[in-house]
Amino acid sequence: MRVNIFLLILVVAGTLAVTYVLNQPVRPTVQEVPVSTIQPVEAYPLAPDLLLTSVRKETFHLYDFKGKIILVNFWASWCVPCVIEFPQMLALAEKEPDRLVFLAVSVDASTENIERFIARLDDESRARLNLPNVHIIHDPDKKISQDVFQTVRYPETLVIGSDLTLREKIIGASEDFSSEEFRARLMEKFHE
């Protein structure tokens, strides 16, 4: 009987000792936590092919620009941020004549508004409107902006990769399009 009691005390003491040792605060296992929840994208969605007519009455398909980055900017003459970023985009188009196309899709109700807007641009920007990689498209019924790209607020800019896939949508005037950083990022990421 005494032996049994001794064994019982020994077991209880041993258990307490083990618990005490194991229960010492130890540093939790550090696990790799992903910085963002973005999942890897298997494939980018292909941009829809669109038949476009510029205000210069040139007709072309979006897919005609395969091999170049396409910057589709939805703007309006009455939209203040658009007025700021429009010249930046023209400057960018001038710097990248072979690798970038700038499609400026105006949602103004009338062409007169577009003309007034152009008239207010500085001379340098106005001259850039004649670049072969710059096209102004009038979309008064919003068949392109709203029906295809679901854009109802302006400005919005789509970045279409040189492989004609939809890469990015820039909402509002959040980018400095004339900056070297933006140009470098654009060319590095979207030109293949």
Partner 1 sequence: MNKFLLIGFFILFLVGAGACSAARATPLDMQVFSMIPLQHDGRVKPLESFARHMALRLTGTTSVQGRPAIDFLAEALFDPTRTAERPLFTIRNPEIKSLLGLPEEEKHFSLTVLLPGLQKEQKTIAAILARDDKSWSHTERALITLYETASDLRDLVKSLHFILPLRMPLPEFVRAELDIPASEADTYLDLKRYEEKISTFVRALPEEQVSDDLKLFILQLSLIEQSGDTEPFFRIMPPEWPLNQGQEWLSPWILINSGMGGPESAAYLDLWKDMAVAYRAQDTRAWQVATEAAYQKALSFKNSGVSPRRLVLETRYQQWNLLFYSFVLFGIATACGAAALSFPRVAVLRYLTAGALIPAVGLHATALCMRVMILERPPVSTLYESVLFVSLICVATALVFALFQKNKSFPLFLAAVSGVIFSFLSGYLAKDGDTLQVLVAVLNTNFWLATHVTVITAGYGLCVLTAMLAHGALLMKAFGKDVSGLTRKVWAPALISLLLTSVGTILGGVWADQSWGRFWGWDPKENGALLIVLWLVWVVHGKISGHLKETGFLVSVALLNVIVALAWFGVNLLSVGLHSYGFISGIAWGLGVFCTVEAVFVGVCGAVIKRKSYLSGVATCV
* Cα three-residue angle 82-183-36, rounded to 5 degrees: 90
Q: Is residue 1 involved in binding partner 1 (CB under 8 A)?
A: no
Between CA 101 and CA 65 the distance in angstroms is 7
* Closer Cβ to partner 1, 110 or 127, answer by number: 110
Of 23 and 130, CB closest to partner 1: 23
Contacts (CB under 8 A) with partner 1, residues 141-180: 141-142, 146-153, 156, 166-169, 171-172
DSSP class of residue 85 equals H
Closest to partner 1 by CB, 127 vs 148, is: 148
Q: Does 188 bind partner 1 (CB under 8 A)?
A: no
- Is there binding between residue 35 and partner 1 (CB under 8 A)? no
DSSP code string of 81-96: HHHHHHHHHHHHHHH-
Residue 129 gets which letter from DSSP? Answer: T
Q: Which region, judged by CB under 8 A, interacts with partner 1, from 22-30, 54-62, 114-122, 129-137?
A: 22-30
- Alpha-carbon span 65 to 180, nearest angstrom: 23
Q: In DSSP terms, which residues pair with 100 in a beta bridge? A: 69
Token output for 89: 């985009």
Q: If binding is defined by CB under 8 A, does position 11 make contact with partner 1?
A: no
Which listed range, 55-63, 90-98, 116-124, 140-148, lies at the site for partner 1 (CB under 8 A)?
A: 140-148
Q: Give CA–CA dist 24/135, Å, rounded.
A: 70
In three-state secondary structure terms, 92 is helix
Residue 18 beta carbon to partner 1: minimum distance, rounded to whole angstroms: 9
Give the 3-state secondary structure of residue 86.
helix
Q: How far is the CB of 101 from partner 1 (least distance, A)?
A: 18
Which residue ranges make up the site for partner 1 (CB under 8 A)? 19, 22-23, 25-29, 37-39, 41-45, 47-48, 76, 78, 107-109, 141-142, 146-153, 156, 166-169, 171-172
